A and B are shown apart, each in its own frame.
Chain A
C-alpha cells in the first residue's frame, strides 16, 4: 500500500487509530531530498505492510502539525507507536540506511 496523505485536521485520528507503527513523512513540493526518498518510502510501505504504515504530511499546507513536533528541516520522518512519537529521523538516506533506522519497528 502506497503512502496516504494526512493533514492537520486528520492527523490525530489517523495516528491514534493505527494498530501498527506509523511513519509520518514531513515533506514539501520544493524539497529535492524529499522527492528522492518518496519512492523508497512507498517501497517500504508495500514491503512492510502490517508492520508499519507510512503517511505523508505536506508541511506547506499543514504547518500546525509540523510546528507541534518541532520539524525544522525536511525530510523529517517521525515514527509514532501507540499514538506517541517514538523516533525522529532527519534527512534523506538510502533504503538500506533507512531500514536500519526503522529496524526496531519492523
Chain B
C-alpha cells in the first residue's frame, strides 16, 4: 500500500477528537485531524464548547476556564505532539473497504482526499431547530440557539426560550442577566429539567412560564438589511387557542442531534442517529460495527454529554485505534507499548 495512507484519521475536533489526537500523536501515530470549518453553530472547530462561556466543572481548573480557551489549549497540546490538523470539512466518507476514504471539498471527486487505516469519528452534536418556515434566514436576526453567544444583544428586551429541559432553563437563567423578562415556552405542563435548575428558574422574578404551548410561526418585520424577529404565533395544545406574543428575541433550546449524516448507511446507528459503539465480539468500547472505525464523544453518547466524558472516550478511542493497528500489523507489535 502506498505510504500516503494514514494510520489514524480523526473527524471532528471537540474534546473527544482532540483528546484522541493528543493520545495518538503522543503514540507516534501521526494522526490527521480534520477539524471542520468556522461557523456559528456547534458544527465548527472546537465543537460545542466554542459557544459556551465559563466551564466550571472541568477538573484541573479550580477557577473555571472559558470554553474556547480550553479548546485552544487542547488543540495546542495535540499540535505539540505532531498532530496534523486541517481546517477543512469532511464531505464524504467511504468505509466499505480498507483503507478507508475521506473526502473534503467536492464529494464527486473519484479519489478520496485522504485514506486511513483507522477512522475515529468525533463529529459531536448540533442544536435541533423547530423546522418552521423562514427559520434559517432568521438565525442571527433575533433567533438564536446560543444564549451565551447572543444574549448580550438583547438588553432590556422581552425574550422567549423554547424548550423544557436543562439547557432551556439554563439559557433562560443566563438571559435574565440582560433581558427584562424571559418566558419559557414548553409543550408540556412540567419541565424535564433537573430539580436544581427548576428551583433556580422559579426563584428568578424575571422568568415566566407558558405551558402546553407550541410555536406555530415566527413573526418578523423587514428591515433594510434583512428581516428580524418581532414575535411568535403560539398555539395552546389544550385549548387550541392561537395567540401572538411580541418578543425581541427567541432562543431555541429543544435539544441536540448527533452529527452523523455523513455516516448514514455505513455505520450502525440508533433511530435517533447516535452511533452504536461497543460492537459485540470486541473488547473495544469505542468500536463501531465497521472494523477499524471508532467513535467517541457526543456522537455516540446521549446520556452523559459532558466535556470530560467526551475527552475520556476520545482517549479510549485512541487506545483502541492503536491496539487495532498493532493487531493488524500496521505498526510494529514488538515496539514498546506506549507509556499511556
Interface residues of chain A, those whose CB is within 8 Å of chain B, are: 28, 30-33, 35-37, 40, 59-60, 63, 66-67, 69-76, 78, 85, 87-88, 90-94, 97
Chain B residue numbers with a CB within 8 Å of A60 are: 152
11 residue pairs A–B, Cβ–Cβ below 8 Å? A33-B40, A35-B68, A40-B38, A70-B141, A72-B153, A73-B139, A73-B144, A90-B140, A91-B39, A91-B41, A94-B87
Chain A residue numbers with a CB within 8 Å of B71 are: 32
- Given A32-B67, A92-B44, decide whether A78 and B53 contact each other with a Cβ distance below 8 A: no
A37 to B37, alpha carbons, bound, how many Å?
Answer: 10
The closest CB in chain B to the CB of A36 belongs to: B38
Chain B residue numbers with a CB within 8 Å of A67 are: 153
A82 to B150, alpha carbons, bound, how many Å?
Answer: 29
**From residue B174, how far is it (CB to closest CB) to chain A in Å?**
13
Residue from B50, B87, B140 whose CB has the most chain A CB atoms within 10 Å: B140
Q: Let me know if B140 and A73 touch, CB within 8 A.
A: yes
Map CB proximity to A onto B121-158 as digits: 1 under 8 Å, 0 otherwise: 00000000000000000011110100001101111000
Q: Let me know if B150 and A33 touch, CB within 8 A.
A: no
Total residue contacts A-B, CB cutoff 8 A: 84
Q: Let me know if A92 and B38 touch, CB within 8 A.
A: yes
Chain A residue numbers with a CB within 8 Å of B141 are: 70, 72-73, 90
The closest CB in chain A to the CB of B248 belongs to: A72
CB of B45 closer than 8 Å to a CB of A? yes
The closest CB in chain B to the CB of A84 belongs to: B224
CB of B314 closer than 8 Å to a CB of A? no
**From residue B253, how far is it (CB to closest CB) to chain A in Å?**
15
Interface residues of chain B, those whose CB is within 8 Å of chain A, are: 37-41, 44-46, 50-51, 53, 66-68, 71, 87, 89, 139-142, 144, 149-150, 152-155, 223-226, 228, 249
Q: Let me know if A31 and B153 touch, CB within 8 A.
A: no
**From residue A19, how far is it (CB to closest CB) to chain B in Å?**
22
Q: Let me know if B153 and A66 touch, CB within 8 A.
A: yes
A79 to B154, alpha carbons, bound, how many Å?
Answer: 23
- Given A76-B140, A90-B141, decide whether A33 and B225 contact each other with a Cβ distance below 8 A: no
Q: Let me know if A87 and B225 touch, CB within 8 A.
A: yes
The closest CB in chain A to the CB of B49 belongs to: A32
- Given A30-B53, A32-B50, A73-B153, decide whether A88 and B66 contact each other with a Cβ distance below 8 A: no
Chain A residue numbers with a CB within 8 Å of B89 are: 94
Q: Let me know if A32 and B46 touch, CB within 8 A.
A: yes
- Given A33-B40, A92-B44, decide whether A73 and B149 contact each other with a Cβ distance below 8 A: yes
Chain A residue numbers with a CB within 8 Å of B41 are: 91
A35 to B44, alpha carbons, bound, how many Å?
Answer: 12
The closest CB in chain A to the CB of B41 belongs to: A91
